Amino acid sequence: MNDRLRFRAWDRVHDKWVDPFIIVLSIGGEVMAIQDLDENIYGLHQVELTQCTGLKDKNGKLIFEGHCVQQFGRSWVIKFGPYCDSGGGDSASCGHGFYLENESLGPYDQTHGFYKIEEFEIIGNIHDNPDLISGNDKQAK
């Protein structure tokens, strides 16, 4: 199975993971809702879908959007969407996709050094460990 096509679902109303689940699509292929194995339906306003990056941390764990990862005492949150990388130079490189962000430093760019994602370690996620994103340079408890 392609790890890149794995998703997780966070129930915003009950503050819990919905697992396992199926994605309910419209006839046109748009995501309409998710359904758990007990046939409970969760609308998109109720859940946040997070996608797997397809990458693994230094312990072999799959990295998902919303994971907090750490290397050399500095932690980052895995995000997905539009981003700009200053690159440490005069011009910014912008794109859309997965990127790292630190609350105090902003999005990752080359001024922060070159890292291999396989050298990072997952220390939590933004839902189960919201304290990890304030300050961003703390160890998980």
Whether 17 shows a pLDDT value over 80: the answer reads yes
Is 141 inside any structural domain?
no
| 74, 137 Cβ separation under 8 angstroms | yes
Least confident window among 6-15, 29-38, 73-82: 73-82
Residue of 29 and 118 predicted with greater confidence: 29
Whether 50 shows a pLDDT value over 70: the answer reads yes
Q: Which residues contact 96 (CB under 8 A, 6 or more apart)?
A: 81, 82, 83
Q: Percent of the chain scored above 70 by pLDDT?
A: 82
What is the domain range of residue 78? 3-133
Q: Percent of the chain scored above 90 by pLDDT?
A: 55
Tell me how many domains the chain contains.
1
Is 86 inside any structural domain?
yes
Is 69 inside any structural domain?
yes
Is 139 inside any structural domain?
no
- Give the DSSP letter string of 80-129: EEEEEE-TTSSS-EEEEEEEEEETTTEE--GGG----GGG-EEEEETTT-
Which CATH number do you get for residue 8? 2.30.30.290
Is 51 inside any structural domain?
yes
**What are 76-110's pLDDT values in tens digits?**
999 999 887 665 556 667 888 888 888 777 777 65
pTM of the model: 0.81
Is 140 inside any structural domain?
no
Which amino acid does the sequence have at 26?
A: S
Residue of 74 and 51 predicted with greater confidence: 51
